[in-house]
Structure 1
Amino acid sequence: MDVFPTIRQTGMPLDFDDRPLAKRVGLVILATDHTTEPDFQRMVASDRIGLYTARIPYANPTTPDNLRRMQPSLTEGARLILPDEDLDVICYSCTSASVVIGDDDIEAAINRAKPGIPVVTPPLATVRGLQAVGARRISILTPYTIETSTPMAQYFAAKGFEIASFTCFGLEDDREMARINPQSLICAAREATAKDADALFISCTAVRAAGVAHAIEQAIDKPVVSSNLATAWATLRICDDNAPRPELGRLMAQPMAGW
């Protein structure tokens, strides 16, 4: 028989902070995502900024039709993140789905659960990031098929960018995209970057490009913007973290003019 002292409830008064952490970042990510959380833990999380994640259903292959099927899950995914509590920003971590669904429709779906909260999508963060590094003519590298890459080209052309070159790997499974070796990315980025491009954009939140963005910049002597690098940059700036971190890439030394 266990013997332990009588449990006493103290009457000592307690002080409570408004929040456990000063800033709250919500992440809505794919059920199959291997990369967003590690990237955001490395680049965004701190003793001031907390990350809170919800995963939503997703089934490969990565085609425009399958990507669109995530749209109905966005509202409930956002609702599951700290229910009835405010967030400072919510990121939807899928570049290709954001392109085919549309930034505005994603924002509307998430704001149905979290009204008035800034919503960051990877392509829109990339547009802001490319503008911040002064790029107008860009090279694009994606892991997708040509079918899934085509809407990406149309998106950036519609945003006013000249596309100097566009290269894709032809992969259909985002879990395979996450397994691309970083050294392979560096080599592929060097081959994919046009000489007359102002910057290189590496698409896909599954691809581990953010971790080697600085190394790619050294290899091509141009700014590199990747999906997760751009969303992390935008998230930090929305959370009033403006500290330059050029060791992560040139973008992370740039300010952001609003969201």
Structure 2
Amino acid sequence: MTAIRIERATLVPQLDPRAVARRIGLIVLATDHTTEQDFRRMVAREDLAVYTARIAYENPTTPDNLRLMQPRLKDGAALLLPDESLDVICYSCTSASVVIGDGQVEAAIQAAKPGTPVVTPPLAAVAGLRALGTRRISILTPYTVETSTPMAAYFAGHGLDIARFTCLGFEDDREMARIKPASLIEAAVAAMVPDAEALFISCTALRSAAVVPEIERAIGRPVVTSNLATAWQCLRLCGVEAARPEWGRLMGLPARAAA
């Protein structure tokens, strides 16, 4: 076989500062079916990319099992574009963020990515509910009573008045991801009370973000879900102001509300 001559080009290619202008890191559970798809639809765009790392998690979804993820957060964050900066990192687990604590989640992630803003679903939801001007809310979770109890304390501790708290009793987040959207709409309508100003639907596993507009039409009030709240906050922290009314009322609110 005749040897093929390979020549080194004399042209020196010029480099952009980044391959993509804005970069969001996403830490998801190994069992997660939903978050990446929601962020692909609501967040990713030509000038904004989402980079994902998965961390180990084993069901059932109990406070003790959720806490086991805390020491894994640093390693998960370190896998997100090593030695490169990110504009924001989201840890996509609502119930774990509640039982571990927002501050502890932030500290673990920033141990690998110093100075990077960190978004958690419950704190993003609080910011979203406040931005919507609501205080008295209903809450719907797919969890058991045991796992829902710390969440009730969390939202009450952030100054929100809980009119009704409903849980569906699931222990496996893979089954939570399989709940049909039509059933989520039905459960959301049933979870509301007349004097609640908004509804929060917890859990990043649920396919609830896609049906927020339908739920808002059914109940006549704003709806915030875990993935909707983190998507909104990540976008605004990246300076993306464009309203996305097709995703519900929250996606029309500006950056000052996300800070």
Shorter-chain TM-score: what band?
over 0.9
In structure 1, give the amino acid aligned to 2:33: H
Q: Structure 2: 5+ residue runs without aligned partners? A: none
Per the alignment, residue 24 of structure 2 pairs with 25
Match of 1:66 in 2: 65
Q: Superposition pairs for residues 5-84 of structure 1, below 5 Å?
A: 5-84=4-83
| Cα offset, 1:168, TM superposition | 0.5
Aligned to 1:231: 230
SS at match of 1:113: coil
The answer (yes or no) to whether the contact 1:178–1:207 under 8 Å persists in 2 is yes
Q: Deviations over 1:159-206 (max 9, x none)?
A: 000000011100000000000001110111011111110000000000
Rounded Cα–Cα distance in structure 2 between residues aligned with 1:187 and 1:65: 30
Which stretches of structure 1, 4 residues or more, deviate above 3 A after TM superposition?
none
| Paired amino acid for 1:153 | A
Return the alpha-carbon distance in structure 2 between the equivalents of residues 169 and 134 of structure 1. 27
How far 1:6 sits from its partner (Å)? 2.2
In 1, the alpha carbon distance for the partners of 2:229 and 2:223 equals 10
One-letter code of the match for 1:152? Answer: M
Deviations 1:221-259 (A, max 9, x none): 100000000000000000100111111010000113253
User: What is residue 140 of structure 1 aligned with on the other side?
Assistant: 139
TM-score, with structure 2 as normaliser = 0.98
Identity %: 65
Report the equivalent of 2:94.
95
Partner of residue 220, structure 1? 219
Check the 8 A contact 2:239/2:255 in 1, yes or no. no
Q: Name the TM-score, length of structure 1 as normaliser.
A: 0.98
| RMSD of aligned residue pairs (Cα, Å) | 1.0
Shift of 1:14: 1.2
Once the two structures are superposed, the pairs formed by residues 234-245 of structure 1 within 5 Å of their partners are 234-245=233-244
- Counterpart amino acid of residue 77 in structure 1: G
Look up the match of 1:106. 105
